Amino acid sequence: MAKNVLMIGWELPPFNSGGLGEACLGLSKALAKKGTNVTFVLPQKVDLHFDFMNLVFANVAEEGTDLVNEAYQSYEVWVKGKKFKIKDAPSGYVAGALKYAKRIKEIAQKAVPDIIHSHDWFTFPAGIAAKEATNAPFVAQVHSTEIDRTGGNSPNQTVFEIEKLGVQSADKVIAISQMQRNILNTSYDVSPEKIEVVYNGASFFEKEKLPPTLEFYKSAGYKIVLFLGRITLMKGPEYFVRAAKRILDYEKKVIFVVVGNGDMFSQMLSEAVNLGIMNNFIFTGFLQGEDKHRIYQTADIYLMPSVSEPFGLTVLESIGNGTPVLLSKQSGVSEIVSNVLKTDFWDIDEIANKVISAIRYPALLTVLKDESKKELPNISWDRSADKCLHVYQDLAQ
Amino acid sequence: MSSVVLYFQVHQPLRIKKYRVFDMGNSHEYFNDEGDSSLNNKKILRKVAAKSYLPANELILKLLKRHKEFKASYSFSGVFLEQIVKYAPEVLESFQKLVKTGKVEILGETYYHSLSFFYSRHEFESQVVLHEKTIKKLFGYTPKVFRNTELAYNNDLAHWADKKYLGILAEGWDSFLGWRSPNFLYKPQGTTKIKLLLKNYKLSDDIAFRFSQKSWPEFPLTAPKFASWVNQINGNGDVVNLFMDYETFGEHQWKEHGIFDFLENMPGEILKHPDNDFVTPTEACKKYPTMDEVDVPYVVTWADTERDLSAWVGNQIQKSAIDYIYSMEREINKTRDARLLDDWRKMQTSDHFYYMCTKWFSDGDVHKYFNPYESPYDAFISYMNAASDLKLRVNEKLNQTHIEHIALQKKWAKSVAVS
């Protein structure tokens, strides 16, 4: 029985900017509930405390580089964001990841883990080091790959190599969808038998009703279509804008709310301007907590046109907030939810067809809302934790 | 004495193609998918004809010739007949051959395989008459026993059929039968002469649903085993009503799993018992008395464990779609346009609403198996877009008629003034 698990993570909410932190928290909490002692390591100290697990900080970024509070998008994006030229860019994340590995030894030895479980490439060197230090089996969980983050366009070679080394030296690899299992198999040479799919779970099944927002538009009869996520290539922001144009050609009273930040923000904005539909767009920037849930609840439909989405936790958040979803088939979550609208991310016409239909035939949204909600209890972290424990068990024997 | 009544439902809907909002006003063809999708009606019909209708008909013909006591009955939807006339005339011929033996009965139903009885009595009656005419034309036969779409039945339907038919079919469902057996004929509440034949759902579904189910304790089902179950009824019932989709043979249950061998041997095995025979529904009505009166105030169908209409109108998208289509009735009739009327009626076929069923959708059961659309929502979207286009055409036609009418009036006024 694997009692002590050393989780090596990168971020946790609210100090997170994406699904990775949410997933780590959801899984750890469910594991703890089932009697597992979770020691969760973060690279840098943050003001957090949990009663169900021990939090340990590796103090990787002591010397001033702020590594957390900012998710790794892709190497190229990160460099651009820092306004460095690619060739003389500091390899901050890579250096951070390696330093994490250096610091982990002591922590690991102290924790005496039965299992080491690390999350995404920047924690893989640490995972390998922890295994060397303790001899405990090493589980590498992949939430997103460099292939996903770059859409396959010039993935960073160093990141890719670290990723590959991580999944290949792991005793077991956890993928968060079948889609990702395939990528790990074809692009990272991991045999399918070594990869277990453990889907993410919903953190809540039904969010309480929050005060409305954007009431002006709602009362004037506008429908709200939501984009929520990092504004970056893999989330398909350009498809969102082009679909918006197509929708507005047929239905005038629609407002497109964009929640999030990212490297393609200005591109998205200027695309909306160029298409002459900027008046129908609202950009809110990054939102979290209650604000985020309020936006979900206000929206009539959440549109996730991701080009490549290893999972897509936001879909479960939206459903939990009672908002129907249109998602791209190129997402992991699409493998486990049925009562949603599905299209290919590139099929602007079909996205528009479905959104317009949802606006014109209101029964559609009513049924999607009611039926999708019924699915959530079957997509719980509890279930993910059970599968995870199964993986641990096999390794511990 | 136990008489086996075989009734096979033969139906193929005209599935609506992927019809987007952008198609509205541009294309008025809703049923003509010609691609590789599961919505290509012609392709599906030809596939099912090859796998099921043709081999099954050949076998039934052989059985009719082999056993003089063997009989069967069929109900064909009008939309099915329309499609075989167009895409597979050899299938029509093979059915005609069966009917010519004189041992095959054809039942009455609505031409469009619709649930119109519950939405518009007038429309329902028109569709029954249309069906009757088609059967007369293609088979030279007038149905004497009625079965409604999906075996949907209640007292009202029996009252309506009482005037016109000898018998009517329904599911032998426990909710109204109670301790009574489906193996007798019954008198529907408040009727005078019509007799009710009830499906023995256990034995029917053993063939239609469980035949290839390895997890079923009785698997594999053989003809002698099945005949022994029929024999058990002997002495405790007059009829054994085996009602099922004809596609059971070769399409739902595969040839590779032995369904045709089963069908070939089943009549002979049943007839081995000297007290067993086969009768058509009409013969059953003439031969046997009714045992008791049954009261069915609510609608009973042959679908799902609920045996109600919830597979067709159980959720809001189904309800809104069917309400929308029937709300057009008055305007459609006003146009006096045959093409519009026909399109409207083809959109009443019950399958369209079945495809929008969300019951058990995420569990991937029988509903998913029978759904040619990716999801109930995709079915609904194409349906509503097509129905909205139909509505636009109706409005356009009525405006046009109105304008023509005014022009005629003016012309007439002018001619009167001149004279």
Using the Cβ of A335 and the Cβ atoms of chain B, whether some distance falls under 8 Å is answered with no
pLDDT given for residue A91 in this prediction: 58
Asked if pLDDT for residue A74 goes beyond 90, the answer is: no
pLDDT given for residue A90 in this prediction: 41
* Phi, psi (rounded to 5 degrees) for B34: -115, 10
pLDDT given for residue A61 in this prediction: 66
What domains can you pick out in chain A, each with its CATH number? 4-201+380-396 (3.40.50.2000), 215-377 (3.40.50.2000)
**How many CB atoms sit inside 10 A of residue B326's CB?**
19
User: How does pLDDT run across A102-113, given as a tens digit for each residue?
Assistant: 899 999 999 999
pLDDT given for residue A149 in this prediction: 83
Contacts 24+ apart (CB under 8 A), A324-330: A324/A300, A324/A358, A324/A364, A324/A365, A324/A368, A324/A369, A324/A372, A325/A301, A325/A368, A325/A372, A326/A301, A326/A302, A326/A351, A326/A354, A326/A355, A326/A358, A327/A303, A328/A236, A328/A304, A330/A179, A330/A306
pLDDT given for residue A2 in this prediction: 67
**Angle CA(B44)–CA(B46)–CA(B49) in degrees, nearest 5?**
105
What domains can you pick out in chain B, each with its CATH number? 2-294 (3.20.110.20), 314-418 (no CATH)
What is the pLDDT confidence band of residue B400, given thresholds at 50, 70 and 90?
Answer: confident
| Among candidates A337, A354, A375 on the partner chain, residue whose Cβ is nearest the Cβ of B381 | A354
Asked if pLDDT for residue A65 goes beyond 80, the answer is: no
**How many CB atoms sit inside 10 A of residue B117's CB?**
23
Cα–Cα dist B180/A163, whole Å: 69
More confident call, B137 vs B362:
B137
User: How does pLDDT run across B60-92, given as a tens digit for each residue?
Assistant: 999 999 999 999 999 999 999 999 999 999 999
ipTM value, please give it: 0.91
pLDDT given for residue B173 in this prediction: 96
Cα–Cα dist B284/B2, whole Å: 10
Question: To the nearest whole percent, how much of chain B has pLDDT over 90?
Answer: 90
User: Please, what is the angle between helix B78-87 and helix B89-100, to 10°?
Assistant: 120
What is the pLDDT confidence band of residue A64, given thresholds at 50, 70 and 90?
Answer: very low
Contact predicate A220/A232, CB 8 Å: no
A-chain residue closest to B384, CA distance: A361
What is the pLDDT confidence band of residue A79, given thresholds at 50, 70 and 90?
Answer: low
A-chain residue closest to B387, CA distance: A361
pLDDT given for residue B305 in this prediction: 86
Would you give the distance in Å from CA B399 to the centre of its chain?
36
Cα–Cα dist B54/B93, whole Å: 10
Cα–Cα dist B137/A118, whole Å: 74
Per-residue pLDDT averaged across A325-352, rounded? 97
pLDDT given for residue A84 in this prediction: 44
Nearest to B76 by CA among B64, B62, B88, B66: B88
A-chain residue closest to B364, CA distance: A338
Alpha helices in A34-156 (DSSP H): 75-81, 92-111, 124-134, 146-150
Using the Cβ of B388 and the Cβ atoms of chain A, whether some distance falls under 8 Å is answered with yes
Task: Report CB contact under 8 Å: A349, B20.
Answer: yes
pLDDT given for residue B172 in this prediction: 96
One-letter amino acid at A31 equals L
Integer angstrom CA distances of residue B375 from A55, A338, B221, B379: 44, 8, 33, 7
Using the Cβ of A327 and the Cβ atoms of chain B, whether some distance falls under 8 Å is answered with no
Asked if pLDDT for residue B360 goes beyond 80, the answer is: no
What is the pLDDT confidence band of residue A151, given thresholds at 50, 70 and 90?
Answer: confident
Q: A-chain residues within 8 Å CB-CB of B381?
A: 353-354, 357, 361, 364
**Angle CA(A197)–CA(A200)–CA(A201) in degrees, nearest 5?**
135
Per-residue pLDDT averaged across B381-398, rounded? 97
pLDDT given for residue A70 in this prediction: 53
| Among candidates B315, B362, B380 on the partner chain, residue whose Cβ is nearest the Cβ of A375 | B362
What is the pLDDT confidence band of residue A18, given thresholds at 50, 70 and 90?
Answer: confident
Decide if B132 is catalytic.
no
What is the pLDDT confidence band of residue A30, given thresholds at 50, 70 and 90?
Answer: very high
Integer angstrom CA distances of residue B394 from A270, B95, B318: 43, 37, 22
Asked if pLDDT for residue A374 goes beyond 60, the answer is: yes
Report the predicted TM-score, pTM, of the whole model to 2 decimal places: 0.92
User: How does pLDDT run across B299-356, given as a tens digit for each residue?
Assistant: 999 998 899 999 999 999 999 999 999 999 999 999 999 999 999 999 999 999 999 9
